[in-house]
């Protein structure tokens, strides 16, 4: 029995290492050369969808207005808010020629989620090149729009960016949130580098209005409250139409959750649409997470083997070294390299968390945007 378990364990380790080798195309790549000035100056429509985000809008929109870019508009979309969001949006629109206000009534919304509000915003956008940022996010620099605009090109209609989370404290929750976010970015950047893009995040994303219209907007998943960002990228991305922008000036930052229950709910909502990804992405991502989980499970079993425990421990440590080196390069690009010192513990805890989240997402429930939690 022990030899069989050892060979299975070794197989899962090799599979997992192959996945990280695949992701290394991003982690070990150089920062892309900037495109020419003509591309950098494309007029932009920046869309911010908000539902009960009065305080976040008051804090973050002034930062957005300071973008060093010659030609852009900001569309603030009030998605049937019940707080002071509408008034704050109207104030910004009245005081800034860059800003336009769009108000959605609750009676207009066909389903929960922000897809309807986003669609109305996209329809109202003056320009073809669209950037998306959440109401609780802000650009790290005044050159975010300029950096993201450089991702667009003759064939590049989708621009993937990195949406980071604040380093609020030394809590374990904050480390887990930042590690999971960085690992997810390494994955979607890595896949996109191979012409195999499968998702993006609404905290920092760009695509063209013409691409949105060509795919009939969110019609392929209109009845699903979540997935306005990752599902749209998954259905519309091709081998050649996606670019990655990961220069530090192109990052956005958000305030992370501060309770385990809120973070768990947020991740459950984000994961709930993964079963709608293309089959090849479901299979590859499923195999990646399974290889991590079973690497740990079989490693624990083999600790009780008098013959294979030493060999297994050696293989396990070699895998840690290999994966750690790749992740260090990726985390360094994303300015999260402090997390690598906690990598072994963070990975183990995240594997357990993802298993719990997976079990939660296969349980029938209704998940809606801004319904109790975000």
- What DSSP string runs through 130-178? EEE--TTEEESSTTHHHHHHTT--SS--EEE--EEE----S-HHHHHHH
Q: Per residue in 42-58, is it b (16+ CB within 10 Å) or e — as a string? A: bebbbbbbbbbbbebbe
CA nearest neighbour of 44 among 8, 73, 81, 82: 73
Measured between alpha carbons, how far is 324 from 322 in angstroms, rounded to an integer? 5
Q: How far is CA 349 from CA 173, 180, 262, in A?
A: 11, 10, 17
Q: Is residue 223 part of a domain?
A: yes
pTM of the predicted structure, to 2 decimals: 0.92
One domain for residues 51 and 123 = yes
Picking from 206, 225, 258, the residue at the C-terminal end of a domain is 258
Residue 360: per-residue pLDDT: 75
pLDDT reported for residue 308: 87
Q: How far is the C-alpha of 281 from the C-alpha of 319, rounded, in Å?
A: 24
Rounded to whole angstroms, the Cα distance separating 235 from 231 reads 6
| Domain assignment of residue 41, yes or no | yes
The number of beta carbons lying within 10 Å of the beta carbon of residue 276 is 17
Instruction: Check residue 239 and give its pLDDT.
Output: 97
The answer on 298 and 253 residing in a single domain is no
Tell whether 325 and 213 lie within a shared domain.
no
Residue numbers of the domain that contains 220: 31-258
E strand spans, the chain: 44-50, 72-79, 99-104, 129-132, 137-139, 158-160, 163-165, 205-208, 242-244, 252-254
Q: Do residues 126 and 100 make contact, with C-beta atoms less than 8 angstroms apart?
A: no
Residue 354 forms part of a structural domain: yes
pLDDT of residue 363: 62
Q: Are residues 75 and 89 in the same domain?
A: yes
Pair type for strands 44-50 and 163-165: unpaired
Low-confidence ranges of the chain (pLDDT < 50): 35-37, 366, 371-374
> Does 187 share its domain with 139?
yes
Say whether both 206 and 292 belong to one domain: no
* pLDDT for res 168: 85
User: Using CA atoms, how far apart are residues 293 and 305, in angstroms rounded to an integer?
Assistant: 20
Both 13 and 41 in one domain: the answer is: no
CATH code: domain of residue 118: 3.90.550.10
Sheet strand arrangement including 158-160: 99-104, 72-79, 44-50, 129-132, 205-208, 158-160, 242-244
Does residue 268 fall inside a structural domain?
A: no
How far is the C-alpha of 27 from the C-alpha of 163, rounded, in Å? 17
CA 199 remoteness from chain centre: 7
> Is there a domain that residue 210 lies in?
yes
49 and 186 co-located in one domain: yes
Phi first, then psi, for residue 39 (nearest 5°) are: -65, -35
Residues 21 and 47 in one domain: no
Same domain, 6 and 59: no
Q: Give residue-wise pLDDT tens across range 85-109.
A: 999 999 999 999 999 999 999 877 7
Per the domain annotation, does 251 fall within a domain?
yes
Does 374 reside within a domain?
A: no
Number of folded domains in the chain? 2
Burial class (CB in 10 A: 0-12, 13-18, 19+), 59: middle
Q: Which of 80, 125, 74, 68 is nearest to 104 (CA)?
A: 80
Residue 63 covered by a domain: yes
On whether both 40 and 94 belong to a single domain, the answer is yes
3 state DSSP class of 240: coil
- Looking at residue 364, its pLDDT comes to 53
Judge if 13 and 126 occupy the same domain: no
């Amino acid at each position: 029995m022990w030899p069989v378990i050892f060979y299975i364990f070794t197989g899962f380790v090799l599979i997992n290492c192959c996945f990280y080798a695949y992701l290394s195309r991003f982690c070990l790549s150089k920062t892309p050369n900037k495109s020419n000035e003509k591309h950098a100056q494309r007029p932009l429509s920046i869309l911010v969808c908000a539902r009960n985000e009065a305080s976040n809008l008051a804090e973050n929109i002034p930062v957005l207005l300071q973008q060093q870019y010659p030609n852009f508009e900001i569309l603030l979309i009030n998605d049937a808010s019940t707080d002071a969001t509408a008034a704050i949006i109207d104030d910004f629109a009245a005081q800034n020629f860059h800003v336009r206000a769009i108000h959605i009534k609750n009676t207009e919304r066909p389903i929960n989620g922000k897809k309807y509000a986003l669609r109305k915003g996209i329809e109202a956008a003056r320009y073809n090149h669209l950037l998306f940022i959440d109401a609780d996010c802000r650009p790290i620099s005044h050159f975010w729009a300029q950096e993201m605009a450089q991702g667009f090109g003759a064939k590049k209609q989708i621009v993937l960016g990195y949406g980071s989370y604040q380093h609020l404290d030394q809590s374990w929750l904050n480390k887990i949130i930042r590690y999971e976010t960085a690992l997810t970015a390494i994955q979607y950047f890595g896949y996109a580098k191979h012409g195999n893009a499968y998702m993006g995040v609404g905290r920092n994303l760009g695509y063209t209005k013409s691409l949105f219209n060509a795919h009939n907007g969110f019609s392929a998943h209109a009845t699903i409250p979540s997935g306005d960002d990752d599902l749209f990228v998954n259905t519309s991305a091709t081998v050649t139409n996606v670019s990655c922008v990961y220069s530090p000036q192109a990052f956005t930052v958000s305030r992370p959750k501060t309770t385990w229950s809120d973070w768990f709910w947020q991740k459950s909502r984000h994961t709930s649409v993964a079963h709608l990804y293309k089959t090849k992405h479901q299979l590859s991502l499923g195999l990646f997470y399974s290889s991590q989980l079973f690497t740990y499970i079989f490693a624990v079993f083999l600790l009780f083997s008098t013959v294979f425990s030493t060999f297994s421990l050696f293989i396990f440590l070699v895998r840690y070294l290999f994966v750690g080196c790749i992740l260090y390069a990726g985390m360094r690009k994303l300015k999260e390299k402090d997390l690598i010192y906690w990598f072994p513990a963070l990975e183990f805890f995240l594997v357990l968390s993802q298993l719990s989240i997976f079990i939660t997402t296969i349980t029938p429930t209704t998940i809606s945007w801004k319904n109790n939690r975000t």
